[in-house]
Amino acid sequence: MEVLEIEGGKSLKGTIRISGAKNSSVALIPASILSDEGAVTLLNVPEIKDTDSLTDILAFIGADVERSTESMVIDSTNVTNKEIPEEFAKKLRASYYFMGAMLGKYKHAELFFPGGCSIGERPINLHLKGFEALGGVVTNIGKKYIVDAKELKGADIYLDIASVGATINIMLAAVKAKGVTRIENAAKEPEIVDVAMLLNSMGAKIEGAGTNLIKITGVDKLHGCSHEIIPDRIEAGTYMIIGAVAGNYLKIDNVIPKHLEALISTLEEMNVELDVGDDYVIVNKPEKYKPVVIKTLPYPGFPTDLQQPFSVLMTQAEGDSKITETIWENRFMHVPHLVNMGANIDVSGMKAFIHGPTKLYGTIVEATDLRAGATMVAAAIIAEGKTTITNINHILRGYENIVEKLSDVGASIKRVEVED
């Protein structure tokens, strides 16, 4: 098995360039099959396991994909509407975007329940409710879903929770439906705006993406286009947190600071020195950190995906910090590993109480999920001695060239093959 070995205690200086957003790419790749004529070119596609897995699905359904460094040209001329087998679907959560895209294109989709991080129950009832409102009939056989529609018709859909996945999946299914669809209480994440921009460049008529009311006027046909994916705000945030614990003039480049306002203001509240430019943030480790209280919320609130790495910073604050997680029921799986490294953290339900400052020590820890893995990397960078991180597949699913990016700024980090 492969592990990450990190020698802690190095200060990080230089520039880390942020890749295209994982959570945009994983929706844009399935969205591209909606083109009726012409290829879709995606630029700034991160080279991570999740985009590899989606490329495998594209190839399986017959798309012609040309992939070169950070770009993908997807020609869907020969795509056929096949059932996507379980071994493909379970590799990542976002395989379910093929449900909306297939339904939108063929009015029929067959897909197994998706995989992804075990950070909560992760139901897809709102996606299915949206498909049904558009005229789809959903059948569930074991772990498989079949959605079939005689005709897709625009509808008013209210989401009980502002779900990122449901908002995107409904957009994909509705772009070619007859008439107007309105998604109320839509999610507002930047990735949703990115998907709407791609679809509009393909000829769709979507208004209001980025607000809680999205209006989609169905069109008959979509066509190819070229689209550049936004920078990954969660990758950027992760490296900003790493900069806050170990940075000596660490520049995080190719960032949209507006997407990171909640993190930036919380870092400032903790006393972290930041220089925020138009498309970069420079981070310096301060002498002392103030403790803070955070609550994860949908965008533009503090992102749940950064709560775990942020807890490392809280272990270094002078006093008691608190995290309230409101999105996922099971997002403190990293805590026992941080405690093994020397942190003092109590978890009660969806709250974590972090008592700092504590010194961290290298040991063997596990990446229990993607962001927990990033948390272990951040902790290892400031720990005394060597940390070995197992189950690194989770990290490689979401962080492009993490070893190279961190080595280039002075971290001692390597991938090592060890016996199981």
Residues at the interface with ligand EPU (CB under 6 A): 23, 26, 93-94, 117, 119-127, 161, 163-166, 187, 234, 304-305, 327-328, 370-371
Contacts of 91 (CB under 8 A, 6+ apart): 49, 50, 53, 115
Cis peptide preceding 357, ω within 30 of 0: yes
Q: Is the dihedral of CA 193, 199, 201, 204 positive or negative?
A: negative
Question: Closest distance between ligand EPU and the C-beta of residue 297, in Å?
Answer: 9
Residue of minimal Cβ distance to ligand EPU: 165
Question: Closest distance between ligand EPU and the C-beta of residue 120, in Å?
Answer: 5
Question: Closest distance between ligand EPU and the C-beta of residue 100, in Å?
Answer: 12
- Hey, which residues are catalytic here? 117
Question: Closest distance between ligand EPU and the C-beta of residue 27, in Å?
Answer: 7
Residue closer to ligand EPU by CB (options 77, 139) is: 139
Question: Closest distance between ligand EPU and the C-beta of residue 328, in Å?
Answer: 6
CA distance 233 to 279: 12
For residue 323, the cross-strand partners are 294, 352
CA distance 157 to 130: 6
Question: Closest distance between ligand EPU and the C-beta of residue 95, in Å?
Answer: 10
